[in-house]
Amino acid sequence: MEFPYTKVLYFLKHQKESRLLPWARIGIYNPKNPEKVIYLLGLINSGADLTMINREIGENLDYTIENGQETELKGLGGGTILGYFHKVGYLIEDPDSPKNNIKYLGCAAFTKNIFPNSYPQQTAIFGTIDFFSNLMVTFIYPKKIVIGTVFS
């Protein structure tokens, strides 16, 4: 499956800027209700260990966020936020051929608070554990990101 790089707007020192980032539309669902899928626009980040998802997504999927295993999520520069691990389902849809859709169960940390507004469109960061460990991801900057199963 191929996804284009996304032109992302942000504001640096009150100046509007844009850049191309490896964002993709990925479906997430609660395994207790696999029919209810929410599609996230998230950064595919090979430098992130964990997958982090905005708290509001988890609440809309009927997770009790604080019932998950608490973890401290650390970022570049030493910043930390609290997150809570839960089992989640992933759905990556092939717009050209639904028979190629990828669906699997993994885990993700829902944030204690909502994501900061630096990139207001972003609702997730997909990291190595449970994203890259289940998928084969190739970055072809600036044209596309190719995602496939490890066994395809």
pLDDT category at 144 given cuts 50, 70, 90 is very high
Q: What is the pLDDT of residue 115?
A: 67
Q: Tell me the β-bridge partners of 135.
A: 149
| Whether the Cβ atoms of residue 56 and residue 62 lie closer than 8 Å to each other | no
* Predicted confidence (pLDDT) at residue 112 exceeds the cutoff of 90: no
- Burial track 24-56 (b if 16+ CB lie within 10 A, e otherwise): bebbbbbeeeeeebbebebbbbeebebbbbbbe
Task: Band the pLDDT of 2: cuts 50, 70, 90.
Answer: very high
Six token digits for residue 146: 């190719």
Beta strands in the chain (DSSP E): 2-4, 6-12, 15-21, 23-29, 37-44, 52-53, 69-74, 80-92, 102-111, 124-126, 135-140, 144-149
Please check whether residue 43 is in contact with residue 20, taking contact to mean a CB–CB distance below 8 angstroms.
no
pLDDT digit string, tens, across residues 66-92: 999 999 887 766 678 899 999 999 999
Instruction: Give which of 146, 148, 149 is closest to 138, Cα–Cα.
Output: 146
Residue 56 and residue 135 in contact, taking contact as beta carbons nearer than 8 Å: no
Domain coordinates in residue numbering, the chain: 2-149
Report the range out of 8-17, 60-69, 70-79, 117-126 with the highest average pLDDT.
60-69
Report the range out of 17-26, 40-49, 59-68 with the highest average pLDDT.
59-68
Taking residues 126-136, report their average pLDDT: 91
Q: Check residue 119 and report its DSSP letter.
A: S
Domain range 2-149, its CATH number among 3.40.50.12780, 3.30.465.10, 2.40.70.10, 3.40.30.10: 2.40.70.10
